[in-house]
Amino acid sequence: MAAITLLEAIRKGLWEEMERDDRVFLLGEDIGVYGGAFKMTEGFLERFGEDRVIDTPISESAIVGAACGAAMMGLRPVAEMQFIDFISCCFDILTNYAATSRYRQNIGIPMVVRGPSGGGVHGGPFHSQNVESFFLNTPGLKMVEPSTPYDAKGLIKAAIRDEDPVLFFEHKALYRNPRIKQEVPDDDYIVPIGKAAVRREGRDISVITYGVMVYTAMEAADRLQEEGIDIEVIDLRSLLPFDREAIVESVKKTSKVIILHEATRTGGMAGELTAVINEDAFEYLDGPIMRVTSIDTPVPYAPPLEEFFMPQVDDVLKAARSLAAY
């Protein structure tokens, strides 16, 4: 096994699923001849042909609408958003049609909508959003966001095989990050949707997070270890459904919690996770649940402003020290 990037791991998962199942096909803007804006699908057109790697017009509503119809007819479409921000263009189709289809008519829509998310790369407000909270209140959808190459391959394969619509978020700052390269098996495996991973065992404070913020949490944990504060890091991996049991078990062990995510604060994942902890583990808490998130503004374009906007290691350190002293 060679160490590969997160982007290459997703490529491998897509390629293997297309080899395994001829119902799987890709559609999106510039994914064929050009190979994708991030070269995710480079070489796919030559291998699988234009019937299974489809260049589309610049219309996210058309892309997801076509994917819905194809899925209802028995295919397994994987629709790419060139940047996940533009998923808002097909919000109606995803929330009112795809998510409700099984409930309305007992017809699953086994499709994946995937694309690059997140900031930190100076892309400005149209190319840097984290959109998970837009869909958190939509029964019938699933959402995943891998932080490691191993999980990226296993989760994309699980998403394609799922019988219902899955939104697959890929943080673009992780795509080619050499620091997170990982050996990924060549054999067929999946990472189950809905299961979290403990990235670091700890006894003092639980940091619950996902995506690129896993690495922010891990760096903060290393620095806090020198101060005698032992941090446990929980990587959700799946945002809907999320692993309620893993969250509660960690809280019972540490009794103090920081919820860390890059998305803006109001109405974010942190609020829902806080409610779950209050419902299931309130008596174990020895301090207030703390949120470390981006601030409630559009994503700034200027690098210094974007850095101020996003959660940094120092923000986690500040929250952890305050909580440890509580």
- Residues recognised as catalytic: 127
Q: Please report, for residues 37, 134, 146, 265, the alpha-carbon distance to residue 81 in angstroms, rounded to integers and kept in the order given.
A: 10, 16, 17, 24
| Six token digits for residue 112 | 């994946």
Dihedral sign of CA atoms 263, 267, 270, 273 in order: negative
The answer, yes or no, to whether the previous bond of 178 is cis (omega within 30 of 0) is: no
Q: Please report, for residues 59, 132, 219, 258, the alpha-carbon distance to residue 226 in angstroms, rounded to integers and kept in the order given.
A: 51, 34, 12, 19
| Six token digits for residue 4 | 């590969």
Cα 288 to Cα 274: distance, rounded to the nearest angstrom:
10
Side chain identity at 206, as an amino acid letter?
S
- In 3-state terms the chain splits into helix, strand, coil percentages (rounded to 5) of 40, 20, 40
Contact between 118 and 85 under an 8 Å Cβ cutoff? The reply is no
Cα 159 to Cα 137: distance, rounded to the nearest angstrom:
19
